[in-house]
Chains A and B, each alone.
Chain A
Amino acid sequence: MLIPCPHCGTRPVEEFTFLGDASVKRPASNDPSSMEQWYDYVYLRNNPKGRFDEFVHHSGGCRAWLVISRDTETHEVFGCVTVRDYGKTKGGKA
């Protein structure tokens, strides 16, 4: 698989490390009442068949954290943006 790194250009998947579901959001609160949100954040991950946004680290290249949008069934890659840009567009468009 090839991943279009926004910094380095298209590179093979071997250069990247996957971290899974990019839809998770770290809760802002440290209040004990937020514990359920924390459990979800730490442990719950989507793993759909079809289009999926995932965190990837370009560990063998520019070392940026990216969000890749791909089809988990066909491996078609729809896009790849930095995790910062992904955060800015809220809900994400990789």
Chain B
Amino acid sequence: MTSYRLSSGGLIDRTASLNFKFDGKSFTGHPGDTLASALIANGVHLMGRSFKYHRPRGVITAGAAEPNALVELREGGRKEANTRATMIELYEGLTAQSQNRWPSLDFDIGAINSLASSMFVAGFYYKTFMWPKSFWEKIYEPIIRKAAGLGTASKEADPDKYEKAYAHCDLLVIGSGPTGLMAALTAGRSGARVILADESARLGGSLLNEREEIDGDSGIAWADGVIAELGSMPNVTLMPRTTVFGWYDGNIFGAAERVNDHVIAPSPYEPRQRYWRIIAKKAVLAAGAEERPVAFGGNDIPGVMLASAMRTYANRYAAAAGKSVVVFTNNDSGYRTARDMKAHGVHVEAIVDSRSESKADAGGVPVLRGRRIADVGGKKLAAGIELDDHTHIGCDAVAMSGGWSPIVNLACHRGGRPAWNDQILGFVPPDTGKDFIVAGAAAGRMLLSECLADGARAGTLKGKAPATPKCRDEAFAIAPLWWVKESHGKAFIDYQNDSTAKDLPLAAREGYRDIELAKRYTTTGMATDQGKLGNVNAIAILAEATGKSMEQVGTTTFRPYYTPVSFGAFAGPFHGHHFQPVRKTPLHDWADELGAVFVETGLWMRSSWFPLEGEDWLAAASREVVATRERVGICDVSTLGKIDVQGKDAGAFLDKLYCNTFSTLAVGRARYGLMLREDGIVYDDGTTSRLADDHYVMTTTTANAAKVMAQMEFAHQALFPELDVTYVTVTEQWAQMAVAGPKARATLQKIVDGLEMNDQSVPYMAALEVTVLNGVPARLFRLSFSGEHAYELAVPADYGNMVARAVMQAGDEFGIVPYGVEALSIMRIEKGHVAGGELNGTTTAADLGLGKMMSSKKDYIGRMMAQRPGLTDPNRQCVVGIRPVDPQDRIRSGSHILKDGDRPSMAADQGYVCSVAWSPMLNMWIGLALIANGRARHGEVVQVWDGLRGHKVMGEICDPVHFDKENKRLHA
């Protein structure tokens, strides 16, 4: 294979070689190469196949806008599809595969689409695959999906780490070309905190690609000097390999740093990529400008590329795009390519300038003025051109320049629309306010001296802008040329989507005259490059087809992300093990020792049941219930929210929060409370205890702890600021365990210090401060959720595991068991106590059978709205018990209740089953249900219909208290 590596020059390190593979073939390149430049240097011009027609494609650009040379980089779990070869730094051992071809890049069966291309016009899919309708999902879509699409994603897990981080600065400079460097230098010298970010591995931007002269030296030397100075400043952070992809409210910028994409595998301690949120007081967009292609026949054949790309490959990478070159341009910048290529010793056949006049320096290369390229010959490599006057010129590479588009993307991310500028023939940025300044070529400044001055101004945070170094300017002049209509071959507008110049007038003829509609109809401007190269040409052709101006057609909407960002970067470390934090109770180790199976409840891990060998969850939970009811059990209830409420108005505040009254609660006592929302629906419940006149501790359900706290904060700060009250969560301070069963008191008596426990010293609903185990401070509550004679004991969390073990030891002689939330739930259903299934955001206090708790003597949250007719209707669904008529039958949660004989329908629906359990005490399935006017229907036999599982049993409506109706056990 011929070498296309130039013998000298370039910013590559020729002393070192790097081995890499493309489509299984081995090649070598040098540090400083991209995958694209190394392939070009190796004479590989065919790098991919196009999306629709499977046409052979090579590189068009040398940068971020590359639409064609997309490859699958790396293998296995590290494989990344649709990666731009122009942006991949070459490294030792790199492997890449071309995409969108089968069986090989060289011979691709899909290219047959190209022969039938007259069919594949814009809207082809919409027009063709419309009917029969039933074919779409099963036949058309799978086939189209298989044939289309770009690279494929890996099915293996990505083994690498990703991170997220925040950064702050006085000035963020985006882009490190002449404008960006000047801005960063100016701000850095003033002492400001500066971040300079650039997508490239090497800072310098266009100065690395062009032969410029600044301050009497080469542009590269000047850039290196500035970068060295910036690097020495402690107030400046340089961020190479970092794409700033979005501008967001508050001058926050999103950026993706490719920390380790340039090595074969990152160190296990380092991330592959880092997702940054940069909070910038001010920012400068110095992203430069993107050169545009021209639409002419075969403008996609490998060897045809942007003029700036061709000279970048030669100047920066010492890679010649061809042996014999033609330049086609409508502006002065194309002449630079001719001069640069000639200087590198590459033969330049001619400059084809569509303008009849130009003052640009051709450097001795013949110029064909007023001429246009109509068609390019060749299939997998350019083989000569034909001009509009039918002249043939031999060549193997074509450099094209259709003008320059300022890279305004970020400036438009917050809704601004760019404006058309007739001088430079490009869209220039909208007003971005004083904190985000667009400077240099991104603002439409086409001269180097203007860029340097613009950068200095943008980097001046206060005072006067400094003088800028002297430089040599290239003049810039341009005349419009969008589409060479004499072309016979396909003239592509959007390479990535295979949309051609003819598609746009077609779209207009078919009524898609608005640019947003034409985009969707022709797919121009979609996919990974988002129309970076093609959109302006598309707008111009649509403008002509619809008789509008560029300004009138306007652009489509610019949205983040400027270039694709990997899912890994978005996820950061928050997947798998770190998807969400785990919250463990202070009794976790104790439960774990006893073989607990844990269940996630929100973020909490709660002990769910404690299986003995051979037991499933139901056997374990049933055994735990029986043992607790017959002897004694201990359960971790630490997850209940605990809030310390203090202050002179603490009682008054609780009276506002709860529908019942707490200001009258005696010190040393606890009371069950019910909290409503302002709309009258029940919000939460729990017991609150009074520890002192001005000190309560309230409990919330596990699920609502945080929400209740927020509600309290709102109630106090916004509604009742006059109350002198403070509240703070103390959930985590206490390990809390329920000890329940006939032997609960005897068990606890053995560890409580100096207190004879009896019904006088610790009456039902007592809340006492005691010590246990010789001085561990503790709170002892006589509360019961299980219906048994029961207590809750709270100790400071660091003692939790040890105290729980001590309780187990104390209860050993009585046969104590640990029980989990499953047993807890069974016991509460047996007792008809409401919980999450019933407190479900639709029920009122009355629905729950707790209507009497609602005070009529005070204002409280939800009082008024709870009285509306809709919430007091006697036919509302209210909580009842439900049990199968045949004790062998099983009732399932979620089943609907129907009257005997009714067919299932919305109209016939009587309610539904909210909670069910197998009751080991009653030896049957029991449940709680919400049934219309249910309390008046005890004894009625109904259908319990489970449409989801196709299951129906007969059930009987009953009192919600299934077990120990007289509550004898509570006081036993």
Q: Decide if A and B touch, CB cutoff 8 A.
A: yes
- Can you add 7 more A-B contacts, CB < 8 Å, to A38-B864, A75-B250? A2-B250, A17-B710, A27-B864, A30-B864, A55-B714, A57-B710, A83-B718
Q: Are B717 and A84 in contact (CB under 8 A)?
A: yes
14 sample A-B contacts, Cβ–Cβ < 8 Å, listed by A number? A1-B250, A2-B251, A10-B250, A30-B859, A30-B863, A34-B864, A43-B679, A55-B714, A57-B710, A59-B710, A64-B713, A64-B717, A75-B414, A87-B721
In the complex, B850 has a CB within 8 A of chain A: no
In the complex, B678 has a CB within 8 A of chain A: yes
Q: Are B865 and A57 in contact (CB under 8 A)?
A: no
Instruction: Enumerate chain B residues within 8 angstroms of A30, measured Cβ to Cβ.
Output: 859, 863-864
Residue of B nearest to A27 (CB): B864
Q: Are A42 and B678 in contact (CB under 8 A)?
A: yes
Contact of B277 among A12, A32, A38, A74 (CB under 8 A): A12
Q: Are A65 and B714 in contact (CB under 8 A)?
A: yes
In the complex, B719 has a CB within 8 A of chain A: yes
Given A2-B252, A35-B864, A38-B865: A12 in contact with B279 (beta carbons within 8 A): yes
Residue of B nearest to A17 (CB): B710
In the complex, A45 has a CB within 8 A of chain B: no
Most buried by B among A10, A34, A65: A65
Q: Are A12 and B250 in contact (CB under 8 A)?
A: yes
Q: Are B710 and A83 in contact (CB under 8 A)?
A: no
In the complex, B249 has a CB within 8 A of chain A: yes
Bound Cα distance from A42 to B279, whole angstroms: 37
In the complex, A26 has a CB within 8 A of chain B: yes
Interface size class of B (residues with CB under 8 A): 20 to 34
Q: Mark B413-437, 1 if CB is under 8 A from A, else 0.
A: 0110000000000000000000000
Instruction: Enumerate chain A residues within 8 angstroms of B718, measured Cβ to Cβ.
Output: 55, 65, 83-84, 87
Instruction: Enumerate chain A residues within 8 angstroms of B249, measured Cβ to Cβ.
Output: 1-2, 13, 75
Q: Are B864 and A57 in contact (CB under 8 A)?
A: no
State which residues 14-45 of A face B: CB under 8 Å: 17, 19, 26-27, 30, 32, 34-35, 38, 41-43
B318 to chain A, nearest CB (A): 45
Contact of B717 among A2, A75, A77, A83 (CB under 8 A): A83
Instruction: Enumerate chain B residues within 8 angstroms of A75, measured Cβ to Cβ.
Output: 249-250, 414
B382 to chain A, nearest CB (A): 49
A59 to chain B, nearest CB (A): 6
Bound Cα distance from A34 to B678, whole angstroms: 15
State which residues 848-874 of B face A: CB under 8 Å: 859, 863-865, 867-868
Given A2-B249, A2-B250, A38-B864: A57 in contact with B721 (beta carbons within 8 A): no
A48 to chain B, nearest CB (A): 18
Instruction: Enumerate chain B residues within 8 angstroms of A35, measured Cβ to Cβ.
Output: 864, 868
Q: Mark A64-93, 1 if CB is under 8 A from B, else 0.
A: 110000000011010000111001000000
State which residues 712-769 of B face A: CB under 8 Å: 713-714, 717-719, 721
Instruction: Enumerate chain B residues within 8 angstroms of A34, measured Cβ to Cβ.
Output: 864
Q: Mark B774-818, 1 if CB is under 8 A from A, else 0.
A: 000000000000000000000000000000000000000000000
Most buried by B among A13, A34, A38, A87: A38
Q: Are A2 and B864 in contact (CB under 8 A)?
A: no
Bound Cα distance from A57 to B713, whole angstroms: 9
A8 to chain B, nearest CB (A): 14
Most buried by A among B251, B714, B863: B714
